[in-house]
Amino acid sequence: MKKLEINACLHCGLAKKFLLTMKLTIFLLLVGLMQVSATAYPQATKFKFSVEKKQVVDVLKEIEERSNFHFFYLREQVDVDREVTLKAENATVEQILDGLFKGHGVKYKVLDNDLILLSPESRSFPAMPDAQQKTVSGTVTDEAGEALTGVAIIIKGTTHGTVTDREGKYSLANVPEIATLQFSFVGMLSQEVIVGDQRSIDVVLIADAVGIEEIVAIGYG
């Protein structure tokens, strides 16, 4: 009788251990699937909208407002004032960009942090220079002092960059002292700041208004 009770307890303990192992395995699988989904989501985002005789810059704004993507470009290199008629029906960001820039001498590159670089086809995307490096951080605001979310910050001549958060703050590691930071935001004048010995660089971006005299934007470090 005692032997039967001992065997029953052993079987009960094994069953509990097996159930615990199964629960842990299922939990880890779910976490893994969630991480894969979070990683794959941005580029799998589908867009559905229609624009007629709108500027390219308006389409880029539409994409930014509907996704986690942010664009970096220089107006003197990429014509975003060109008018386009475009219809997106469950299209990926790559399909939209192909439609926008095909035959117009512009290429793009999607980085890991959902930052999309727009550049002339004649220019390459070089690697980051090998020099003494540090972390540079700061805040980007508009003329009214309001924080700007989604401002693209790139080390000039490289594909190394980041974007500002909800509070307009950014932090960029591995920045050479000889580097120049480029700040770009749709609807704002882009700006360049030489890093030098600075570790904190705050920037004020000015609205790219139409029909006014050219404005020179100055970065404050």
| pTM of full prediction above 0.75 | no
Asked if residue 179 lies in contact with residue 197, where contact means CB atoms within 8 angstroms, the answer is no
d(C-alpha 217, C-alpha 191), whole Å: 6
d(C-alpha 70, C-alpha 64), whole Å: 6
d(C-alpha 185, C-alpha 65), whole Å: 13
Report the residue count for the chain: 221
Asked if residue 153 lies in contact with residue 164, where contact means CB atoms within 8 angstroms, the answer is yes
**Tens digits of pLDDT across the chain (221 residues):** 544 444 444 445 545 555 545 554 444 444 343 443 333 344 567 888 788 888 998 889 888 888 888 888 888 888 989 998 888 888 888 888 998 998 899 999 888 778 888 888 877 665 555 556 889 999 999 999 999 999 999 998 888 899 999 999 999 998 998 899 999 998 889 999 999 989 999 999 998 875 344 444 444 44
Q: 140 forms bridges with which residues in the sheet?
A: 203
Structure tokens at 144: 């009214």
Asked if residue 85 lies in contact with residue 53, where contact means CB atoms within 8 angstroms, the answer is yes
